[in-house]
Amino acid sequence: MKKGFFTTLFSALSVLFCTTSMACSNNTKSPDEPSTPSDNDKKPGVRFKPFDYQLQTTTLEGKVEGMSDVKDVPELVWVFQDAVTGEEVVTPLTVSADGTFHGEAKMWAPTRCILSAGEQRINFFVEPAAHNAVFINLAKLKAKADTSEVFGFGGPFTLTNNELLKLPNPRMLLQPVMQQAKGMQPAEYKKLLLDTYQKANADLIAQGLSSETTLLMQADWQQELCIFQSLQTLAALNGKKDFKEYTVPEGYYDNLLAYGIGKSVWQPYTVMNNATLPILERLAQENPAFQPQVDSMKQQPIQKARQAMQQISDFKPLTADELNALQKDAPNFYDTVAAKNAELEKKIADNASKGGYRVMAIAPELTGENIFKSIVAPYKGKPVLVDFWATWCGPCRRAMETIKPVKAELAGKATFIYVTGPSSPEGLWKNMIADIHGDHYYVTEDQWSTLLKQFESQGIPTYVVVDKDGNVKAKHIGFPGEEVISNELKAGM
């Protein structure tokens, strides 16, 4: 798993967009040239309107149809990301004997949510202080039927929610073509992305969905284009350290600028809406024409609150002056951010007295296989688990929780080492490791890349098991389970 921008856009519509009536024009434009929508097409509908952020209690209720026994119903969980803190809000939905369920959560604005029903996961919108309902056909759910047959919606976003069930995850539009992009130059790469978008857009329009759902899907896809068309993405894909190694073709960014993702009324409704500012900041590094959108977004109260929360997430408490400025510039969000800041200050104070972990180091000039040898050399005599992780990696943290019983069982018999690099903010790392018992190494960027390359890993978490004599006995890309780790460490004793 690679780091994104702390986790992404729309104003002008692009190629192959048809009018609100969905009647296609014969005047097809080139992939580079966005079409110009009418004023009606630009405007969101009744439900898709600019946000007025207010923290309100939100209700989700519904019914499992065709149920005779509650035990037959898989676990139902309602999840969304808080618009300010970025934290996941998880609400289990308990099903009653009559098949009904009800859940409540605090929400700032209309929000894209996830509902998990056993193995099925769907995306849908919920509006605060409104009646939001979802209906589940249990027989169809058990038969693993298409989601459009399993689920149905009521409430403010009924039409769009039901139509979204028929559509693919917008985040999967461009990822499947990435292998084709290896070795490409910018012009060819852009054409690949826009051809993919153009075909998907044509297929979308052919479905005859509502203009709101169509516009929303296009906004999501254009957001993806802003991520993938970045030359930094192409450079990373081809193993280049600097996007400046590429010669930028004239007009390369014109379509992305035309989308106006920082100004769009659709932006708050997109899947990656919380990442729009970091995406624009990244593009501005490549082309200063994006900087006005960056500067404009940074003045929004919601963005000021998010920037404050990012500082808190990096374990850097806000000063009194910063809190006062936030109260003035973003009063709706002040209480929430101030409470999180107070929690951080307490946690930092508590961490100062914790034990069970050590901060270790290797020489920054070490290169090649000497890096790993230097890390594991002091631990001969006991088997070692080396865990390559990062502060932003959710699967890494979840695996650390899962493996705690193994660490307790093998305490004093095995050593647990944790290695990370500069993608983890150092201040955040120093405070997080107080809750992760073991020895911790913070290596340089080059050393981190060398280590992952040595073990043929393209992502994290990555695990390496070393026996008591210092020999590498196993490696895993992704968490293999606590039983596997336990058995391998015991075998290395």
CA proximity to 412, closest of 386, 437, 442 = 437
- Considering only CA atoms, which of 229, 294, 302 is closest in space to residue 262? 294
Alpha-carbon distance of 367 to 65, in angstroms, equals 62
Please give the span between the terminal C-alpha atoms of the chain, in angstroms, as a whole number: 31
Q: Quick one: pLDDT at residue 492?
A: 92
* Tokens standing for residue 372: 């790993």
Convert 337-378 into a string of H (helix), E (strand) and C (coil). HHHHHHHHHHHHHHHCCCCCEEEECCCCCCCCCHHHHHHHHH
Q: Tokens 């955040």: give the residue.
A: 428
Mean residue pLDDT of the chain comes to 88
Given this model, what pLDDT does residue 32 score? 34
pLDDT at position 165 is 95
Q: What angle do CA 228, 275, 244 make, to 5 degrees?
A: 40
Question: For residues 50-69, b (16+ Cβ closer than 10 Å) or e, as one string?
Answer: ebebebeebbbbbbbeebee
- Whether 135 and 76 have beta carbons less than 8 Å apart is answered as no
Q: How many CB atoms lie within 10 A of CB 449?
A: 14
Query: 239's torsion region: left (phi>0), alpha (psi -120 to 50) or beta?
Result: left
Give pLDDT < 50 ranges for the chain: 1-45
Treating both helix axes as pointing N-terminal to C-terminal, what angle do 211-228 and 186-206 enclose, rounded to 10 degrees? 170
Q: What are the Cα distances from residue 400, in Å, to 76, 357, 458, 461?
A: 25, 14, 20, 10
Walk across the sheet containing 357-360 and list its strands: 357-360, 438-442, 415-420, 384-388, 462-466, 472-477
357 neighbors 438 (Cβ within 8 angstroms) = yes
Determine phi and psi for 102, rounding to 5 degrees. Answer: -155, 135
Give the neighbor-by-neighbor strand order of the sheet with 151-154: 100-107, 56-65, 131-137, 151-154
Residue-level pLDDT at 8: 28
Contact 269/216 with Cβ under 8 angstroms? yes
Residues 189 and 248 sit within 8 Å (Cβ to Cβ): no
20, 24, 28, 29: CA torsion to nearest 10: 10
pTM here is 0.73
Give the separation between CA 63 and CA 21, rounded to whole angstroms.
34
The closest of 295, 344, 300 to 319, measured between CA atoms, is 344
Res 47: pLDDT? 64
φ, ψ dihedrals at 359, nearest 5°: -95, 120
Decide: 113 and 126 in contact? Cβ < 8 Å: yes
Assess contact for 458 and 378: CB atoms under 8 A. no
How far from chain centre, in Å, is Cα 116?
A: 17
149: Cβ contacts below 8 Å, ≥ 6 apart: 137, 140
Residues contacting residue 493 through CB under 8 Å, at least 6 positions apart: 382, 383, 413, 414, 467, 468
Cis? peptide before 268, omega within 30° of 0: no
Using alpha carbons, select from 440, 443, 432, 397 the residue that is nearest to residue 415: 440
Q: Burial, 30: exposed, middle or buried (Cβ in 10 Å; 0-12, 13-18, 19+)? A: exposed
